[in-house]
Amino acid sequence: MDENQHPVRAQDRHAPVMLQACVDLLAPALAGPGSVYVDATLGMGGHASAVLAACPHSRLIGIDRDTAALELARERLAQEGFADRIDLVHATYDAIPEVLAERGLTASAVMMDLGLSSFQIDTSERGFSYAADAPLDMRMDPASGGPTAADLLRDLDEKELARILREYGDERFAPRIARRIVAERAEHPLERSGELVDLLDRAIPAASRAHGGHPAKRSFQALRIAVNDELAILARAIDGALDSVGVGGRVVVESYHSGEDRLVKTALARRTRSSAPPDLPFELEEHKPTFAALTRGALQADEAERESNARSASVRLRAAERLRPAH
């Protein structure tokens, strides 16, 4: 079937992870007239659609760095009757404070669903997926320029390649893979995902390939994170989101990688604990935490969702609510 003749709707291509839990956490902050919901990783609008339906007084500021995803979300949300309640912005999600300042707004709630969207995985020519042979691009915003995954594989030295694979992909065979990449590129550059999959299949021992999912999964994840500078952007974005919500405002974040979750956990911990020195006999007002955690640790998807939606298997959901203004 020609997809151009029978396009698949955005709502049919993506199952939002832990959707009801996210709506339940966000909705109390979006009950009032004029409330502002920032979906900082809009994707195809799955979470945004559910929040707008559940919170009829809210308006959406939707941010995404992927222009193709923005257009899909715009079409979807308009079809669902939300066109007059949405403002979609092409930006990375660390731009939350600037996007709000330009509009003179304070956020009532902010949502971040991190990592790769179903749209990006399904767009095989972008090179995100190890399941389809395509150019090794992996840029979430190809129009912005910047190095591709193929560029990194060609230009980085063996030590840096190993670091990226280890830190961003939790790849135990990172040094071995990095050596193989350097040796192979001396003969010809690695430019297609199929070539990288073949290399990884040869580099990872057979006993390890038999367990833990596809052997290319961790390396593809690591390269994608490096190409898009995802952890550095997240470190700025989580603080920007927390700074942008007013009293009673909420921030909800879904992470899928240990590095992501560690950054989110650390940022929330700073805001939800007292800054009083331990030897003070009582806590002064200025030392009281500015946020309260809304989740005990990180929430995970239940077994039924993990079985029906593979993307939910690794999710960690954390949320917090602003208690008082910052000093």
Could you read off the pLDDT of 243-253 as tens digits, one per residue? 999 999 999 99
Quick one: average pLDDT of 230-235? 94
- Domain 10-119+230-322: CATH superfamily, name plus number: Vaccinia Virus protein VP39 (3.40.50.150)
- Per-residue pLDDT at 8: 45
116: phi then psi, degrees, rounded to nearest 5: -95, 140
Residue count of the chain: 327
Amino acid at the residue 168: Y
Amino acid at the residue 78: A
The CATH number of the domain covering residues in 142-227: 1.10.150.170
Domain boundaries, given as residue ranges, for the chain:
10-119+230-322, 142-227
Mean pLDDT lowest for which of 73-87, 125-139, 179-193? 125-139
Average pLDDT of the chain, as a whole number: 88
Nearest to 268 by CA among 253, 247, 283, 248: 253
Say if strands 291-293 and 316-322 run parallel, antiparallel, or are unpaired.
Answer: antiparallel
Binding-site residue positions for S-adenosyl-L-methionine: 45-47, 64, 93, 113, 120
Binding-site residue positions: 45-47, 64, 93, 113, 120
Quick one: average pLDDT of 253-265? 94
- Per-residue pLDDT at 125: 61
- Per-residue pLDDT at 132: 82
Report yes or no: 37 and 108 within 8 Å, Cβ to Cβ: yes
- Per-residue pLDDT at 15: 80
Residue 207 has pLDDT above 90, yes or no: no
Q: How far apart are CA 71 and CA 78, in angstroms?
A: 11
Quick one: average pLDDT of 29-52? 96
